[in-house]
Amino acid sequence: MTVALGRTIAGFVGQWPRWSGYAAGGWALIGIAPALCWAAGRETGSPLRDVPGGRAAAGLIACCLLTGGIAAAASMVRRTPRRWVLVGLWTCCALAAAGTFSFVMNGLQLVFTGTVDDWPAFGVEVFCAVGAALFAGAALAFQRRTADTCPRCGLAHAGRDTGRIPAPPVPAPRAVRLIAYAGSMAFVPYIVMKTTWALGGTFAGVPADEVVAEFERNGASGLILTLERYGLDFTTLSALVGIVLLLGLTHRWGQVFPRRVPLLAGRRVPRWLPLTPAWLGALTLAPYGVIGAIFYLLPPVVGLGDLPDDGIMTGWSGWTVAACGIGAFGPYGIALGVAAWSYQHQTRPKCDTQA
């Protein structure tokens, strides 16, 4: 029963070019309702509640979603203006992706604490992640269909599709691997800082006991505090997992499970397994790091803003602490996006056709 259900689900997902346009259109219509509520002044779940002009922006989002929903429905009809439909689909995809801004941060908080600060906002981020995937699928299917290539594999071939041929496992191009190494190294100062505190030391003039006290004031869970007492910081563990993900996207062992993995050795890694967290991480961390560097780190350096003044984040010590985190997230997020794009291209299977 379970196997049959799994095959049914896999078969349905495998036919995504046939239904992604309709699903994206339905998602857009559902998304219009909360956008209109935010435009009317409701703040529950709104990612724009602290943004100047947020109500006007919410109204604009509702209009974009309506346009995107129409474009998604039109993408299922072959004889439609190709350029404008693609612009509408990719614009809505980017808009939905922007709504996932804090998804990874909240996801990590949920894993380690069992809760998030704002459940409605987290629900909106999950909803936006689904929408970004649906609109990307609809755009790709329409783009390939109107270019007379196969909607599933993107290649031109004749005959009936009878299955999928996996791509041979090969490492990413050298340039992509170098970018991945650079993105991984960007986390070194952050890991050193967090590990120093977890071991009871002082970093940038901030002692470990002040960090633990800050955790307690912010309502950190018992698990996080226990890890700190044993010299393990949960964000350091997350960073290490992120580095493994980034390197896996660029090496053969990220496409085929290595021999040291019990029960799975030699099997293909499902593409969605690394690509889902990779794209979510890239869409969250890259903008977070770049925006933070421009509007938080840079102004005090060039004399256009004040140094931070909030708890342990005070003066140049607080700035240094922030720089270790923000300075890691930007380069890592960009590298993750590059590696995910390369992995997606390298591992794209071909259709097994029969004339």
pLDDT per residue as tens digits for the range 240-277: 999 999 999 999 999 999 888 888 888 999 998 999 99
What's the whole-number average pLDDT of the chain?
A: 85
Distance CA 93, CA 132 (A): 5
Distance CA 37, CA 24 (A): 21
Measuring CA to CA, which residue among 287, 281, 219, 234 is closest to residue 47?
287
Return the pLDDT at 14: 74
Distance CA 17, CA 137 (A): 7
Return the pLDDT at 90: 93
Return the pLDDT at 223: 66
Return the pLDDT at 318: 84
Distance CA 71, CA 88 (A): 6
Return the pLDDT at 30: 95
Return the pLDDT at 248: 95
**Residue in the structure block whose two tokens are 């970004």:** 132
pLDDT, tens digit, for every residue of 70-99? 999 999 886 778 888 999 999 999 999 988
Q: Does the pLDDT at position 5 exceed 90?
A: no
Strands (E), 158-306: 160-165, 202-203, 206-207
For residue 288, the tally of other CB atoms under 10 A from its CB is 19
Return the pLDDT at 78: 67
pLDDT band at 146, cuts 50/70/90? confident
Residue with the bigger pLDDT between 300 and 108: it is 300
Q: Does the pLDDT at position 130 exceed 90?
A: yes
Average pLDDT estimate for 141-148: 87
For residue 298 the two structure tokens come to 């840079």
pLDDT, tens digit, for every residue of 185-234? 999 999 999 888 888 888 888 888 887 777 666 666 666 666 666 667 77
Distance CA 104, CA 86 (A): 28
Q: Does the pLDDT at position 60 exceed 70?
A: yes
pLDDT band at 59, cuts 50/70/90? very high
pLDDT, tens digit, for every residue of 9-24? 666 777 888 899 999 9
One-letter identity of residue 144: R
Return the pLDDT at 89: 93
For residue 267, the tally of other CB atoms under 10 A from its CB is 10
pLDDT > 70 fraction of the chain, expressed in percent and rounded: 89
Return the pLDDT at 13: 74
Question: Do β-strands 313-314 and 309-310 pair in parallel, antiparallel, or remain unpaired?
Answer: antiparallel
With contact defined as beta carbons under 8 Å apart, do 158 and 172 qualify? no
